[in-house]
Structure formats: structure tokens, C-alpha cells
């Protein structure tokens, strides 16, 4: 079931930049996870509202990184555990 999105609510994003950034870069993107892809890209991911997203994009520009893509991703549904029947 698709829920209606709230205006300016944080949403999950994946931001791809060229090259494998070292762990030293992680502090510049606090709150985002960072992973390296085999194609030589770094993926920054996390939940961002619009202001924070624009802030990250400005930081990428200011650091001279090559932006490849920005994608909003669907939040994964939390796994539901089976109910335990009480005795």
C-alpha cells in the first residue's frame, strides 16, 4: 500500500559520486552511510529532507566531486516477525 508523502518530510536517497572516497570523507557527509561500488563509484545514502539534500549537493559541488546521480529510493518495509501465541 502506497502512503501519501508529507511535504518536506525526510525521504531515503542514494547519491552517487565518481571515485572511491576514503573514510576520511565520511565526516563531511555526517548522517549518511557510504559504500563503494565495483564500478569505481561511491554511494552516499540516508534519509534527507529537501533542505538537507540541497546542502549535500552543495557540499559535493564545493568539494569538486563529480556527481553521477541522485535518486529517491523506496523505503524498505520493516520485516514483520511472526506473532508468538501466548499460552
Here the CATH number for the domain that contains residue 17 is: 3.30.70
Which is more confidently placed, 46 or 75?
A: 46
Tell whether 5 is covered by a domain: no
Of 16, 27, 18, 24, residue with least CA distance to 64 = 18
Is 8 a residue whose pLDDT tops 90? Answer: no
- Per the rule left: phi > 0, alpha: psi between -120 and 50, beta: everything else, 25 is alpha
Per the structure, the complete domain to which residue 36 belongs is given by 11-72
Number of domains in the chain: 1
Tell whether 21 is covered by a domain: yes
Is 80 a residue whose pLDDT tops 80? Answer: no
Tell whether 6 is covered by a domain: no
| Burial of 53 (C-beta count, 10 Å sphere; 0-12/13-18/19+) | middle
Tell whether 37 is covered by a domain: yes
Tell whether 79 is covered by a domain: no
pLDDT at position 76: 62
Tell whether 54 is covered by a domain: yes
pLDDT digits (tens, 9 = 90+) for 14-65: 999 999 999 888 889 988 999 999 999 999 999 999 999 999 999 999 999 9
Contact in structure between 47 and 8 (CB atoms under 8 Å): no
H or E element in which residue 55 lies: helix 50-62
Amino acid at each position: 500500500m502506497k502512503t501519501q508523502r508529507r511535504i518536506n518530510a525526510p525521504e531515503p536517497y542514494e547519491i552517487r559520486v565518481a571515485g572511491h572516497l576514503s573514510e576520511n570523507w565520511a565526516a563531511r557527509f555526517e548522517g549518511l552511510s557510504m559504500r563503494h561500488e565495483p564500478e569505481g563509484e561511491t554511494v552516499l545514502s540516508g534519509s534527507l529532507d529537501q533542505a538537507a539534500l540541497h546542502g549535500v549537493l552543495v557540499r559535493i559541488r564545493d568539494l569538486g566531486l563529480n556527481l553521477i546521480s541522485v535518486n529517491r529510493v523506496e523505503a524498505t518495509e520493516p520485516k514483520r516477525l511472526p506473532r508468538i501465541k501466548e499460552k
